[in-house]
């Protein structure tokens, strides 16, 4: 009986176990069916999430081109190495090899990963050459991958740095036109879906979700040839006079297009060295200075508009100095005696300018200065452009009224001066400077055409015999312009033996095409004035610019005399063709 009971119990237990196993099997089958047939979409997404990734497709930034289509800024493809710290930290034995490939210490790399252990993405090295990145990927280190990006490259380097500016490591504009036109230049990144293996490597491209759209190109008014020319000659002028800094701006008299803009010292925008920060300032648009005697041209305009003066009106400047209220004595270079108003500009008489201002109302002067764009932005659209300083006429006392007449108590930029003088060559019409080729000219009339013509004639006489700007003359071309020299402000007064030398001019006078301002800071030595320091730089740049642009000479005999005898027939033929073209254009 006992044996029989024992057998019954064993059989019952086996049946019970079998039943439990059968129920478990049935439950597993039901669960599998439920997962695979009814709710497979959820788990498919969960599985895909561990292998599928939506990754960005880098979009190239638009190129910046000069007016002739020459590249000034382009984007080149590069590779950036990144890692998933969670995976890489599980393979610490591979970190020394990775650190060696990245040219960093293993301890530094390990510390960096440990600090970001909770993340799934961290850059290890940005903007490597594709070959160097591929060499790292070939090590097959877990959690290490590469991402395609673009890096900005500036073929002109320091020559165009202040115009173009630069981008940061993420290809976003930080300075200059790169910043001003960042939205225009920036492309739209794309997105693609890929499958990655456990090492983070892409093993299959699944779908293109959105194609990358490259940024739009930007065509500037800048002529790269003139940019190099101005940079070279400005540098030569600074070295010759041991000057600390300088700027040169060339604009088209009619359209206002900026053909060249250079500053020294400059910097290489291809370098991200933090030591270059002090050289990144675009002095031609951001640095203001007292213009000195170039201001006398605008004072002469106010004088002629008042009806009290003509270019031939006589002004007594003896004994060559005058004392202002407050005890300040203002000197001319020497006692010029009695000068015509034109002579005041030709000889650059401070006393004469003061005598003119004494017969004008403050509002008359202020109106002329303001109409020529002083004390306001030029409208170029350049980030950080300074408006300069022109105090309101209501704030002028007798001394301010006099000193502003010859260029003190007012501050300007190089671009403001080039633009203002362009109006004299454009029939009294002030252009709005632009860095973009083909921008519809934005102009306004600021002075009567007849007065502008008289001023152009006076400014041409300034460059002639007996004037202060004889060193500005360009062989074969008529030049008009004005010199300026001012002492540098310092500590509430003026620094001893520190000057700003300025020359602003136009050419050719018969049909003005180009206006240029040259500003040189802190020239050292016996010569420091605008006529001795800035005017020769103007001459060299303008000589090259007129020839590069094939502007016909308007002093034909002088042009011929400067050429070798054997080349005279060819020169004569070219001059005749240019003259014919000019007449045809005028007729049209």
Q: How far apart are CA 76 and CA 74, in angstroms?
A: 7
CA distances from 395 to 9, 362, 363, 382 (A): 117, 10, 11, 30
Q: How many CB atoms lie within 10 A of CB 86?
A: 14
Is there a contact between 142 and 136 (Cβ–Cβ < 8 Å)? no
Is there a contact between 339 and 317 (Cβ–Cβ < 8 Å)? yes
Residue 74 neighbours by CB under 8 Å, 6+ apart: 63, 64, 152, 153, 155
- Which H helix or E strand runs over 299? helix 296-306
Q: Which of 248, 285, 253 has its CA nearest to residue 263?
A: 248
Is the backbone of residue 306 left (phi > 0), alpha (psi -120 to 50) or beta?
Answer: alpha
CA distances from 551 to 253, 374, 380, 511, 584 (A): 13, 30, 25, 10, 15
Is there a contact between 431 and 442 (Cβ–Cβ < 8 Å)? yes
- Burial class of residue 571 in the structure, from the number of CB atoms within 10 Å of its CB (0-12 exposed, 13-18 middle, 19+ buried): middle
Q: Which of 479, 473, 468, 543 has its CA nearest to residue 510?
A: 479
Q: How far apart are CA 352 and CA 110, in angstroms?
A: 75
Q: Is 293 a catalytic residue?
A: yes
DSSP characters for 329-370?
EEE-SS---EEEHHHHHHHT-HHHHHHHHHTS-HHHHHHHHH
H, E, C per residue of 116-153? CCCCCCEEEEEEECHHHHHHHHCCCCCCEEEEEEEEEE
Residue 45 neighbours by CB under 8 Å, 6+ apart: none
Q: How far apart are CA 48 and CA 195, in angstroms?
A: 8
Q: How far apart are CA 415 and CA 426, in angstroms?
A: 16
Q: Pick the catalytic residue from 60, 80, 293, 348.
A: 293
Kindly list the catalytic residues.
Answer: 293
């Amino acid at each position: 009986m006992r044996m029989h009971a024992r057998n019954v119990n064993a059989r019952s237990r086996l049946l019970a176990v079998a039943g439990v196993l059968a129920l478990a099997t049935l439950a597993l089958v039901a669960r599998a069916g439920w997962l695979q047939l009814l709710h497979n979409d959820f788990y498919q997404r969960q599985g895909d999430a561990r292998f599928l990734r939506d990754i960005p497709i880098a979009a190239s930034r638009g190129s910046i081109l000069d007016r002739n289509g020459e590249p000034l800024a382009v984007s080149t493809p590069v590779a950036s190495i990144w890692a998933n710290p969670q995976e890489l930290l599980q393979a610490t034995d591979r970190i020394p090899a990775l650190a060696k490939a990245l040219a960093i210490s293993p301890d530094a790399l390990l510390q960096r990963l440990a600090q970001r252990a909770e993340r799934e993405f961290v850059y290890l090295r940005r903007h490597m050459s594709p070959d160097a990145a591929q060499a790292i990927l070939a090590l097959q280190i877990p959690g290490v991958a590469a991402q395609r990006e673009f890096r900005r490259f500036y073929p002109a380097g320091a020559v165009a740095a202040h115009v173009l500016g630069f981008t940061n490591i993420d290809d976003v504009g930080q300075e200059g036109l790169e910043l001003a036109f960042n939205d225009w230049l920036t492309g739209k990144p794309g997105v693609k879906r890929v499958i990655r293996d456990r090492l983070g490597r892409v093993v299959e491209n699944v779908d293109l979700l959105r194609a990358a759209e490259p940024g739009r190109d930007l065509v500037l008014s800048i002529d790269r040839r003139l940019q190099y020319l101005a940079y070279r000659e400005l540098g030569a002028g600074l070295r010759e006079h041991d000057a600390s800094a300088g700027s040169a701006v060339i604009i088209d008299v009619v359209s206002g297009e900026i053909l060249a803009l250079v500053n020294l010292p400059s910097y290489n925008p291809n370098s991200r060295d933090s030591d270059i920060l002090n050289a990144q300032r675009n002095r031609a648009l951001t640095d203001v200075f007292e213009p000195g005697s170039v201001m006398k041209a605008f004072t002469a305009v106010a004088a002629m508009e008042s009806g009290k003066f003509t270019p031939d009106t006589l002004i007594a400047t003896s004994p060559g100095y005058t004392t202002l209220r407050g005890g300040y004595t203002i000197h001319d270079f020497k006692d010029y005696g009695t000068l015509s108003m034109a002579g005041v500009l030709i000889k650059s008489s401070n006393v004469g300018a003061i005598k003119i201002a004494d017969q004008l109302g403050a509002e008359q002067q202020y109106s002329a200065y303001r109409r020529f764009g002083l004390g306001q932005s030029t409208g170029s659209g350049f980030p950080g452009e300074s408006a300069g300083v022109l105090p309101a006429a209501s704030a002028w006392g007798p001394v301010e009224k006099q000193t502003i007449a010859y260029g003190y108590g007012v501050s300007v930029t190089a671009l403001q001066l080039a633009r203002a003088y362009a109006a004299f060559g454009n029939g009294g019409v002030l252009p709005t400077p632009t860095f973009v080729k083909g921008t519809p000219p934005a102009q306004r009339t600021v002075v009567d055409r007849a007065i502008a013509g008289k001023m152009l004639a006076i400014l041409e006489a300034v460059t002639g015999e007996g004037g202060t700007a004889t060193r500005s003359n360009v062989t074969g071309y008529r030049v008009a312009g004005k010199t300026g020299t001012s002492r540098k402000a310092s500590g509430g007064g003026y620094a001893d033996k520190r000057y700003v030398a300025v020359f602003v001019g136009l050419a050719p006078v018969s049909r003005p095409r180009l206006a240029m301002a040259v500003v040189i800071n802190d020239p050292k030595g016996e010569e420091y004035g605008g006529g001795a320091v800035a005017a020769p730089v103007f001459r060299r740049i303008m000589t090259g610019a007129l020839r590069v642009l094939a502007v016909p000479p308007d002093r034909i005999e002088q042009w011929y005399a400067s050429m070798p005898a054997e080349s005279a027939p060819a020169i004569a033929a070219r001059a005749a063709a240019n003259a014919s073209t000019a007449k045809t254009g005028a007729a049209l």
